[in-house]
Each structure stands twice: as structure tokens, then as C-alpha cells.
Chain A
């Protein structure tokens, strides 16, 4: 009866209790950091002696934080667009191509997700030092596109595998050109996959730390690099304010995703 929720008996109490405890464990740091960002203690005492908005004021008054956030957004947007477009093309080949070595190709394109980031980070850093792209936006975008590509390919190939190709063929039989059929039949049908790909690739770049630490220059810093620097220096509550804004952004992204998925799958 172990897989009947209603017939687990005493075991259910234990398992539900355990699951609730783990959920609390997963929620704890996220809630804690948001509460902390409103606390007035410079030394992060908790519970805080009073509540304040001064860390947010300091954060928003500091142009280096704003710059870092804008840089991150710019690089992540470019990397996400490139990864989704290139990943979309590659997915057609991976799902519909008829050639030997298709699985090898898939393994190769997904490899950047498997290889420890630190190995890729020093490799691309050395390479970019040699060809003069280290510390440039172009270098950042290329490196992040590589890392984001698997996150684009996985949802798009999954969506494409679930799409019945005969619908596309039917459109062609009815007089659409192959390109028209793809654009007007296939792409709309796999839009949930493309949308997930865009979100995952954006996050892959937006949250990326290791390559960014190597690639950053004093004039080009992403948000994670800025946070990393602050964490190594001290545990300033300004970081808590920045982190809380990131949590807020994650929540917005989750809500938008849930709403869009519901709307699209209708």
C-alpha cells in the first residue's frame, strides 16, 4: 500500500511531516534574506533591532550596482536570443535529421552543461586572452551563449519530438511552402518549448558566476561578479537588498511562466 496516499497510515504522518520540514528548509534562506534586507543592523543581527529601507537606498544610489545589473541584463538578453535561435535550428536537425552520429552531435552540443564550468572558464579565458576578446562584451556573450545552448536545445527538442510532423506535411500538401509551414504551423505549436528555452537560457547567463569572474574587467562587471566581490570583502546588508530584488525577479518570472503556460496550453 506504499503508493496509496490514503492507505499509508502512520507512515503518511511521518512522510508528510518530513516533506514539510524539507520544504521549510528550501524556503528558509529565501525568506531569511528578504527579512534581513529590511533589518537595521549593520552586522546582520537577527531578529533585527529595527526595520529600515536604508540598504535599498544605498543600493539604488550606487551607480556600480545599477551598471552591473544593466550589464547582466544586456549580456543575458543577447546570449538568450542567440542560444534560442541557434538552438532552434540545431533542434530541427537533432529531431528530424536522418544521419549517423545524430546522438553524438546531441551529446556534443549538450556537453557545455556537463563539463565543470571552471574548466570551460579557464579554457575560454586563455583563448580570449590570446585573441583579444577577454574582458569584452562580445567575449561575455559568446561564452554565455555556449553555456546557455543546452538549456535552449533540451526544451525545444522535447517540444519538437511531441509535435506531429504530418500536420506540417498537411500544410505543404495544401499549398504552403515548407518555410511557411514551419513558420505558421510548427513554430506556434512548439511555442511552449521555445518560451521555456528563452527563460532557461536567460537565467543560465544572468546567474552565471564562474566564467564571469574570469571574464570581468574593472569596467565590465555583471551582477553576480559584483555580488561575489562584495561577499569576499564583507557581508554588507546591501548585498541582502540586492539579493531580495533578485528573489522578487525570480518570483515574477515564475508567475509569468505559470500564467503563460496556462494560456498557451489552452
Chain B
């Protein structure tokens, strides 16, 4: 803390009260902004100046397929997460505190458990001879093991599992803020439960759904660990491709160009989310 009051700016020439943000600004400027900008410059200078990296990126079927697959996975994951999270958030918003706190505890436990641990558990659960296939076959529902890993199904299950807390927790806040009287009024006016849901509850919770959904979508777009472990080679996602291009192929120019595309899409969607929820509440589940 600056020793003096904030109104008297103690560091010469700085706007009032900004001085104590200097260490953070220096750290983020030097070790975040500079490296990221340098990386983006590399996409137009490595191996030689020009746009050849972007031409290679958008001209190749392989890379275009990676882009499309990334959007497909993020869309499916977001849709499933919203559908699963909404009823849970709804219940948590109105449940008595005792059973509610058990569910909250489980959500926090799953969210705080090491990411690799959770993904490892799904790798074992979903494998060909895993518990899920064995249980389904034991129940006579299927006769052949289902391919649940190294494909879209595996990525979706693993990602929805990780994203659910990020959708449920903010949605509970949105739903709690809705006045129950509006729904009582709807019922008094003769609205059926379905009608009340469609015309009142859903529209009133839409801002929360949109904000949470956008956050899940953005997080899914750039996710690395879970798709790399639960997905297959035929449906690789962008983050894994970037890492591989740089780490195994040592093609920094192409990797940087792909990183730039990911950055632009993410930041554009982040700006929309900020607009939806206001800068104050950005960052969601904390």
C-alpha cells in the first residue's frame, strides 16, 4: 500500500490512485503482453515476412477440419451443459438449505479436484473394457462395447463434466434473483406450468444462461488437456494442434498463426460476454 492517501498521487505523473497497481501492471505487461504480442508478430515473420502462415492455415483441409471440429465440440459441449445445468440450478435455487448444501459440496469437490485426476478417471471409466461398457452389457442394453473414448462422445462427456460447475453456480444466482411472486401471478392468471416456464421463468433466466453459456463456449474453444486425452486423432481440437505444431513440428510460424486465430475468436466472444454481464461480474464462478 502506498503510505499516503490515494487522492495525493505519490508517484509523479500517475493518475490518482493508480500507483499501487504498478507492480501488477509491470508483471502482466512484461510477462504477458510482451510475449503474446511477440508470438503474434512471429506469425507474420517466421520463417520470412508475409502472410504465408495464414495462407497455409486456411488453405489446408487438415487445418480447416480442425477449426470446424473445434467449433462443433464447443457447440455440443455448451448445449449439453446448459440443458443439464438448468434443472440443477433451478432446484438449488429453491431447495431447502440442508440437501442443497450437500449438492453444493459435491459441485465444489468436483470443481476443485485436480483436472488430470478427473480426466484420468473418465479415461478408465470410458475405455472399451471400462465400467460403463461392462455395466451396459451386463444390463443387456448393448451387446458390443460402445466406442466411448478417443472420439466426440468421449470429449463431450469429459468436457461437460468439467464445465457443469461453471454453468450451475452463476445460474443459481440468476434464478435466485427472480421474484417468485411473478410466477405466482402467472399461475393466478391461469397460466399452465409449461406456459409459465416458457413465458416467464425461461425469459427471465435467459441473461444468466447466455452469459454462462458464452463462458463455457469460450473455455471449450481453447481447451487442451481433456480433448488431448479423451479425443481421437481424427477429431483434434485447435489447442492441441497449436501445441503439437510448436512442440513436435517446431513450426513456430504456423503455430503462432493458429494461436492468433484462437485469440481473436476468444477475445471477441469475451467482449460480448462483458457486454452481457457488465465488466464487474466478468470471470463468473469465483
**What is A's interface to B at a CB cutoff of 8 Å?**
1-5, 11, 15-16, 18-19, 22-23, 25-30, 32-33, 36, 44-46, 86-87, 89-90, 92-94, 96-103, 105-127, 142-143, 145-146, 149-151, 153-155, 158, 177-179, 182, 196, 200, 203, 206-207, 209-210, 213-214, 224, 227-228, 231, 235, 239-240, 243, 246-247, 250-251, 253-254
Contacts and interface: CB of A to CB of B under 8 A. Distances in A.
A159 B107 CA distance: 23
Given A29-B121, A119-B263, A235-B120, A250 B35 contact: no
29 contacts: A3-B178, A4-B183, A19-B87, A26-B110, A44-B124, A89-B24, A93-B17, A98-B15, A105-B18, A107-B274, A112-B28, A115-B222, A118-B224, A122-B242, A124-B32, A126-B35, A127-B34, A127-B38, A146-B32, A196-B286, A206-B114, A214-B247, A224-B115, A231-B119, A240-B124, A243-B114, A250-B114, A251-B109, A254-B109
A110 B215 CA distance: 14
Chain A contact surface mostly = helix
Contact of A123 (B15, B38, B92, B115): B38
B21 interface: yes
Interface in B203-223: 218, 221-223
A118 B224 CA distance: 7
Interface of B: 1, 3-7, 15-25, 27-28, 31-36, 38-39, 42, 84, 87-88, 90-96, 102-103, 105-110, 112-125, 127, 129-131, 134, 161, 164-165, 175, 178, 180, 183-184, 187, 193, 196-197, 200-201, 218, 221-225, 229, 239, 242-243, 246-247, 252, 255-256, 259, 262-263, 266-267, 270, 274, 279, 282-283, 286
B31 to A, nearest CB: 5
B202 to A, nearest CB: 10
A36 B34 CA distance: 45
Taking each of B92, B108, B222, which has the highest tally of chain A beta carbons within 10 Å of its own beta carbon? Answer: B222
Contacts of A117: 222, 224
